[in-house]
Amino acid sequence: MKKISLGDLLSIEAYEAQRPAIRQAIMEHKKTRRVPLGPNAMLHFEDYMVMRYQILELIRAEKITRQEDLEEELEAYNPLIPDGSNLKATFMLEYPDEKERRERLSQLIGIEELISIRIGDTDPVYPIANEDLPRSTEDKTSSVHFLRFEFSEEQIAAARAGADWVIGCEHLNYQHSTEPLADAIRESLLRDFN
């Protein structure tokens, strides 16, 4: 998948003028990139369009204009864009009540390594989690994890042939799986293999 370059960014003024249309398009796009996993977890699958939007919003909010600063943002966000044989996702554990969140995060240590994606009859794929820095301690896990799922040629071929996708979690304290993913989500994620 294409990475973001300086030429893909807009000036703050140009972005401000186009922002309503861009926001509307990204909100529609994100509907095909979010997958709930049980009642308290969500996978947000990242791609070029989502990362470009996040950079544009950051540039706008922080008034970033210097080329060196823009290049720094590209270095930070481009690794979150899939590379053709993988999917990259932000995994979020969502417990609105602070007391419950603290309790549940202490019970879910290691959950980030027990998320899997199964395409058709192929073996499930487990993620490489939090490559940037550890997000779990002996006492608790984080509510946000960054995951990279690497797929074989056989798995990608099965996906292209229309096989069902199922996402699951095998943590003893959070065992959930999705129904086969909706066509719109499956088709959106399939584009990450280009």
Q: What is the CATH number of the domain that holds 124?
A: 2.60.40
* DSSP result, 78-136: GGGS--SSEEEEEEEE---SHHHHHHHHHH-TTGGGSEEEEETTSPPBPPEE-SSS--B
Asked whether 172 and 178 are in contact (CB, 8 A), the reply is no
Question: Is residue 91 domain-shared with residue 40, that is, in the same domain?
Answer: yes
Question: What pTM was estimated for this model as a whole?
Answer: 0.92
Question: In total, how many domains does the chain have?
Answer: 2
Alpha carbon 51 to chain centroid, angstroms: 10
Q: Are residues 5 and 40 in the same domain?
A: no
Tell me the pLDDT of the chain (194 aa) as tens digits: 789 999 999 999 999 999 999 999 999 999 999 999 999 999 999 999 999 999 999 999 999 999 999 999 999 999 999 999 999 999 999 999 999 999 999 999 999 999 999 999 999 999 999 887 777 788 999 999 999 999 999 999 999 999 999 999 999 999 999 999 999 999 999 999 98
**Domain residue limits at 63:** 1-31+48-81
Pair (7, 76) in one structural domain:
yes
Do 58 and 97 sit in the same domain of this protein? no
